[in-house]
Structure 1
């Protein structure tokens, strides 16, 4: 693995006992994949712990692994993923002595990844401000089983999170587990908590008071009773073998809106893989029944063969072999791509759900990728789409300055943020990996009102995961971890929502990794969270830094990449990535080590005033 976490694929072809085991037990299917069998190359992008669980008794691959020792299983996992699987402790060993009352969603709970359906990631808590920040102390910590997958969400006195192999409900006061739901080797990043909004009548009176909803890497959405962890319903919304649900669903008016993505993206760089056919999209499910209401793919053009002499729709046939920078001859079908990796945003005023989309695989020029797409909440009809792809000449100019294949660079890196300009007017804000933030008019079919370059940008992202806003500003975290100059790596910018002008920008922090000083990077590959007059944000050097929302002054630094005595053993912090900071009524929850390759961890850190 190199300094950016890229796996050395030479291990896939090594002559070793593990390679012989693979040939005997696995190659027949994974070297000749059909149906829902993933190709071998895709396994190196899966967590080692998930592959290990699939091989154990009860896992999907257990029959093929029958008779192998634990040492042999782990050698197979290392061969396929490049990593040793970490120990996965059963969270049910730390159950609470008694389970609390029925879990109910209360006003102000942080029930979803972004904290609200508009994607603003903001809470105004008078007791927690810059004046009381010094009183913020660690109350307790928890060791995610295996590794941290994503952020915590809260409802009432319960904290919900996903670790390797489990979705877990923790008591917010003590950190013991109310329940733990085994995910049977499936990868779950985060969960959303919801309550039935409509007044229950008849049989509906038996519905749970709270429902936990999440998606997994098989394209399946699962709903659990929030109080007991028992299965309520499940439904598959994406059948492609490489389809997955990366972000937690967004729930609005008793409908679950699910973003669909794919893990076909990394295989676009593999010349041995015949690419590509997966597509991102949105699905809508009835919360109380699990009934699929509608489903849309972002790319509507039919899948066709690509390349000279290929069959299929002539509108999607390349005029000649695709350029080498787009992957060359192994792009044999398309259009494909346009995954949605981040949570969806709801605009109840206009009756639409917004999805942001990533790159197209192969560059046929199809509509859908690199865009913001608005769908009708009820019917799923596409209301409008705004492409954020620059004009070809401008795109070529930008790409010439960077080390990039110019395919992933212009993907949207964040969810859409719906910010109120007044009681009547809103603006929709979205950012790209190229480092550009755009303000769109949601009342005028997504017309671009302003665009601001805040970062140099790169394939690993100029701006990633999510921005935040309070009444006055949009707060933009700068990643730029693969920036050639690093001018803005790790800085934080505050923009005027109406004009996009930069109000202030923090200087990049000095990288301070406590595990590796030589290859340390302090980019913000994480969404920011605004609490009262403070901006909390996570960094690749393991720190959470807190800034003043007024002028960007640094208020506090927390090095999370250390060892913690947790309520269930020992927790290890790491890089702070993804969606690390969520806020309850009386606590701040920091996830350290999720969405990380260089320094993964498994720590949930719970801070409160005076540690009470």
Structure 2
């Protein structure tokens, strides 16, 4: 999935030596103040700390773009754009009075990003249904020191685990008080995973591919392992999952963003999947999806070397079928021409060896990088094929057909849904549900109750020509033929709706993953509304507008914004939802919301 984030600098060093405002305007504004590029606004960056921004510029995604700036100039930009180092000083931790015990871990849980190993996002152990969903009320909120709350929480009985920037928090489900915090060495941008076998530990991976095994009762480190980066631009973005004594970690790459620099030798990195032993953290195998990139030619104007194949990032949480010994997932677009046969594909690996069992590509010739979106550099950086960037950002779901046969469902940013045979990758049927686009179509995730497939459609306008109008909404599909059983069309309320922090703007669509519980479907929209719908008809049963200010339990100033990337988490009488996502020019926010049925005692 394309990273549209943070094009902090374009090319040249500013003449304003230490003038942070001048440097920012000179190097950042031409991209970040251009709404057509769908980037985070300069104002929204104030949720970052100065050290966060410096790290991005010196070591992270924007290192290539910042190469002509001095350390002092980078510090000046970060100091001007950020909120400084105020987050830890502003937070008042409401620590729990009682020590966390194993008894609290008993009960309804949501143990990983997709709820289960098949990524169904279907909670079966909950009291919430269509008859009482209207009684859900906001019980507490927790503020995160970031411009977005990208990482989805998980819940183990009475314990809520939330990633905020570089800290993993263990909170009490009923009150939001803090049991412990775990400090990672780099940013946590995905959901942790609970050890469903031993039930005493959890796993997290940061953006530098440091994998942590953590004691769930006290937050103590059990072991840590570094997965070696094949290329500097590789990043851990998709969520990991633990099954038996195996931990699977998806491997992505942000090289698509580096390609905006005409001097960058695009592209050499590849997506992948790694498997670790949960007992000791040993890396069992590390599958690189693409062959090592080779020189193909030089750019006409810059004479910069170009390499392929590259791309095929894995942005989504993998699914695992232990019985059949399979790990399955979707891949992103190629970042250089010629496009690989393994980009925009559903891939299945052998669980023991990591060897590829089969690959099914749904769109060929999709070579695209962020340079294609920037008019001034497009001719120098965009691949010849200039594909539509229709990768698989959503996790692949496994279920069973009416005859009891195993089946896979995959949703693509093109707006198409595919049903596949998990044994050989053959496509049983395909159905176009949305118009599609670089931000979906189907962006972050579908859900199923193993009777219907539920599909959220974003269809955001991103400045290109389309062959049909947008279809933002929720859709229920029949398992056997892909027939649309019902649809809920999202209304446009964005005309008078503005971000409460920064200069992001309201957009229409369902981009975030959705979740199901009994006969209710929960969905968050890009305009900030969080709603519940009947799985029988799609009718809206309940709604909460998250675009507001919050008095959080940790007393950190917090607002809601666009809902994206993370989906609803449901356990017994509780529902948890993130609000705020400033990427792609959307509305910033920094809050996690806890809802419960009003019958629950305070």
TM-score, normalising length: structure 2: 0.81
Match of 1:480 in 2: 459
What is the aligned partner in structure 1 of residue 27 from structure 2? Answer: none
Q: Secondary structure at the match of 2:48?
A: helix
Partners of 2:19 and 2:269 in 1: CA distance:
29
Residue 370 of structure 1 is matched in structure 2 by 344
User: 1:172: how far off?
Assistant: 1.2
* Structure 2 CA distance for aligned equivalents of residues 330 and 535 of structure 1: 50
Cα distance in structure 1, aligned partners of 2:212 and 2:53: 19
Provide the residue aligned with 2:312 in structure 1.
338
Q: Please, which of 475, 485, 488 is the counterpart of residue 503 of structure 1?
A: 485
Give 1:397-546 correspondences, 5 Å limit.
406-422=386-402, 424-443=404-423, 445-482=424-461, 487-512=469-494, 514-515=497-498, 519-546=505-532
Worse-superposed segment, 119-128 or 278-287: 119-128
SS at match of 2:93: helix
Q: Give the Cα–Cα distance (whole angstroms) in 1 for the partners of residues 580 and 83 of structure 2.
A: 16
3-state secondary structure, aligned to 2:112: coil
- Tell me the residue number matched to 1:161: 162
The one-character-per-residue Cα deviations of 1:379-438 (angstroms, maximum 9, x if unpaired) are 21211111111589xx9xxx9xxx997435221131101122247312101111111111
Deviations 1:204-242 (A, max 9, x none): xxxxx5222111111221221111111111112241211
Contact 2:411 2:418 (C-alpha < 8 Å) held by counterparts: yes
**What is the CA deviation profile of residues 331-373 of structure 1, one whole-angstrom value per residue up to 9, with x for unaligned ones?**
6122111110110011223210102100111122333211111
C-alpha displacement of 1:514: 3.4
Determine whether 1:290 maps to 2:273. Answer: no
SS of the residue corresponding to residue 52 of structure 1 reads: helix
Q: Quick check: 1:220 aligned with 2:210? A: yes
Q: Is 1:302 the counterpart of 2:302 in the alignment?
A: no
Residue 604 of structure 1 corresponds to 592
TM-score (ref. length: structure 1): 0.80
Structure 1 position 93 matched with structure 2 position 93: yes
Q: Is the 8 A contact 2:50 2:85 kept in 1?
A: no
1:498 deviates by 1.6
Residue 471 of structure 1 deviates from its aligned partner by 3.1
Residues 137/94 of structure 1: CA separation in 2 closer, same or farther (3 Å cut): same
Structure 2 equivalent of residue 313 of structure 1:
none
Q: How many residue pairs end up in the alignment?
A: 542
Higher relative contact order (Cα pairs below 8 Å, separated by 6+ residues): 2
C-alpha distance in structure 2 between counterparts of 1:83 and 1:579, whole Å: 24
Question: 5+ unaligned residues in a row in structure 2: which ranges?
Answer: 24-41, 61-71, 373-377
* Aligned partners of 1:103 and 1:155 also within 8 Å: no
- Listed one character per residue, the Cα deviations across residues 545-593 of structure 1 (whole Å, up to 9, x for unaligned) are 2211111112222110111111111431111111231112221001111
SS at match of 1:269: coil
Distance change >3 Å, CA 72–CA 364, structure 1 → 2: closer
What SS class does the counterpart of residue 89 from structure 1 fall into? helix
Indicate the residue corresponding to 1:388 in structure 2.
Answer: 362
CA distance in 1, matches of 2:184, 2:281: 18
Label 1:118 to 1:108 Cα distance change in 2 as closer, same or farther (>3 A).
farther
The answer to whether the Cα contact below 8 Å between 1:187 and 1:216 also exists between their aligned partners in 2 is yes
CA positional deviation for 1:126: 5.8
- Report the CA distance shift for 1:232/1:388 in structure 2 as closer, same or farther (over 3 A): same
Q: Report the Cα offset of residue 11 of structure 1.
A: 8.9
Q: Work out the CA distance in 2 between the residues paired with 1:497 and 1:122.
A: 16
Separation (CA, whole Å) in 2 of partners of 1:442 and 1:127: 33
8 Å CA contact 1:54–1:60 kept in 2: the answer is no
- State whether structure 2 residue 594 is matched by structure 1 residue 589: no
Are 1:105 and 1:194, in contact at CA under 8 Å, matched by a contact in 2?
no
Q: What are the within-5 Å matches in structure 2 for residues 222-301 of structure 1?
A: 222-239=212-229, 240-299=231-290, 301=291
Residues 409 and 461, structure 1, Cα contact 8 Å, conserved in 2: no
Distance 1:160 1:9, change over 3 A: same
Q: Distance in 1 between matches of 2:21 and 2:132?
A: 58
- Distance of 2:126 and 2:211 partners within structure 1: 37
- Preserved CA contact (<8 Å) 1:478 1:488: no
Task: Verify the 8 A CA contact 2:185 2:206 in the aligned structure 1.
Answer: no
Per-residue CA deviations over 1:234-286 (Å, capped at 9, x if unaligned) read 11224121111112211111210010001112223332322111111000001
1:4-43 to structure 2, matched below 5 A, reads 7=7, 9=9, 13-18=13-18
